[in-house]
Structure 1
């Protein structure tokens, strides 16, 4: 069976064969097709698989949102059961659990944005809201998330209420290419491994630029091919296409496209780094651990790309919307006040109650766990 066949066999098996979900206490045998009714799950699964057999449709922007919506109906319960409420990667931190490393990775977003209580922050592509809750709890800011998937909206609201953050976190069902928000209405914005689903990055970046207040910051963690990727290498192409098929991506972008696109829509690029590069601890180790291990590698065909160094899910870019009401942002002074040091690559380390990661070296206070 070919590599993509494994991807879809396992999605189908978990969703179509193992039955409906429970709101809590999910086990492997209690997973659902999201908001897809049981009798339609198989048809939707077949539609998703056939999408990649019609390359021209992948290039048609108006078909991509429904395609992504279908994907998350099929896999949201699987992701929550095997991965948790934050559908993204993070570097491993010595002495810290995966949960703590994930939380710290998310809290770094709040510190990069410099948001505080009273600020309104946008989560573009919020999933079931794991990062939203971490950022709201860490910063005190109000976070509004948007996801195209109705089932994820319902799950996020349930989690927000359980975390007693439902007055601080809101979720909207919508397309981040056409957001239902006013211009200049957010004090900051972020996307964590979400804009890779956009058929044209300039469209989602343009929308985020529109809704941000002048002077505000936007940070995104992008899935990209690295400088080692070669489009004329059949092995490289097969690996990247496997990642695209397994994760509902209309097409991975190259690392050197991101800043160019951001500037084209009006952003100023403040900082750009690959947070997955050495000496950061491996982000992919979690693929091999716990109850997720026996199916995750079949859904995310990443291990070969990691070995070759041709793919990263943590290409971080920090952007600012400049304008007449520019906040006068200064990277050096901000780094000083936020305890963030931009420096050459250094070892990842944990120092008493602070931590340092990769060449982009934030130093934060870590709550006792």
Structure 2
């Protein structure tokens, strides 16, 4: 299953070359961009950078905090936290192609000293107990059948009293999700939990839940606005279509339907170890 998930996201070989070519074809030099400029490609979760900043605010991190980003993808969340919180952030992701690209993008935006990316398994984190002052996971658990192991591992590597922020896609009451979606071409690698199941898993892993929020309506409005926004000279020429190709448009329409009918939900949980 892990190979299937990695293959799903890593289908675009030499992804960083494709990003560079797309930028330069549009007259954009990658090293002249800021971290926030990469949002359309490296924060491909609902509500983008705004959602990351809202999650970060709830973490209440001290300056120079040591933070873990579980399922870091291309590193957008990692870089946003590093930049906005003056933190050192380690991203771990199952897909090597994402880790390689994330390192290079961090070099471009002068955040390589604050960010580290390693390939690894969220259910078996390669870190010592009590290593981190905070942790996040954003749109990751949809591909993980053994969610309890992920949350137990997060609890293990966090210091007592540290906060864990989860922003994920959950199963709604409106029926089954229609595929393809950005996290799965079909149901074979999709494992959505309900909000009630999520709360139970987090508590079973040893966390106390401080706050939870259903942002499904906001995510639906955000996605509608994003796809209807006219392109301009300032529009980032690289989007998630570079990951999924022509099927990306089908994914968008399926997400709009699922959010509107509450077949899927977007939820945030803030927990304390």
1:119/1:249 CA distance change after superposition, 3 Å: same
Q: Map residues 136-175 of structure 1 onto 2, 5 A cutoff.
A: 136-175=82-121
**2:27 is matched with which residue?**
none
TM-score (norm 1): 0.59
The CA deviation at 1:195 is 2.0
**Does the CA contact (< 8 Å) of 2:220 and 2:259 recur in 1?**
no
1:246 corresponding residue in structure 2:
185
State the match for 1:308 in structure 2: 261
Map 1:216-365 → 2, pairs under 5 A? 216-226=162-172, 228-229=173-174, 236-237=175-176, 239-240=177-178, 242-243=180-181, 245-246=184-185, 249-277=189-217, 282-285=221-224, 286-289=226-229, 295-300=247-252, 301-312=254-265, 314-321=266-273
Q: Which residue does 1:74 correspond to in 2?
A: 11
Change (3 A) 1:240 1:203: farther
CA distance in 2, matches of 1:213, 1:206: 13
Question: Which residues of structure 1 form unaligned runs of 5+?
Answer: 1-63, 91-101, 230-235, 322-369
Conserved? CA contact 2:143–2:190, under 8 Å: yes
Measured against aligned partners, the alpha-carbon deviations of 1:238-280 in whole angstroms (never above 9, x if no partner) come to x3454464277332111221101101111101111112236x7
Per-residue deviation at 1:209? 0.6
SS class of match (2:41): coil
Preserved contact between residue 118 and residue 140 of structure 1 (Cα < 8 Å): yes
Q: Is the aligned partner of 1:191 residue 2:191?
A: no
> For 1:118 and 1:124, how far apart are their aligned partners in 2?
19
**What are the superposed Cα offsets for residues 68-122 of structure 1, whole Å, 9 maximum, x if unpaired?**
11111115849967941212110xxxxxxxxxxx333212222111113221000
Q: How does 1:81-96 map to 2 (within 5 A)?
A: 83-90=40-47
- The question of whether the paired residues in 2 share the 8 Å contact of 1:87 and 1:127 is answered with no
Larger displacement relative to structure 2 (283-292 or 123-132): 283-292
- Matched with 1:134 is 80
**Aligned residue for 2:125?**
179
Superposition deviation, residue 65 in structure 1: 1.3
1:201 matched to 2:138? The reply is no
How many positions carry a matched residue from both structures? Answer: 237
CA contact (8 A) 1:184 1:214 kept: yes
Aligned-partner Cα distance in 1 for 2:215–2:159? 27
TM-score normalised according to structure 2 size: 0.78
Relative distance call for 1:269 and 1:208 in structure 2 (3 A) is same
Q: Which has the higher contact order (CA 8 A, sep 6+)?
A: 2
Gaps in structure 2 of 5+ consecutive residues: 23-38, 232-236
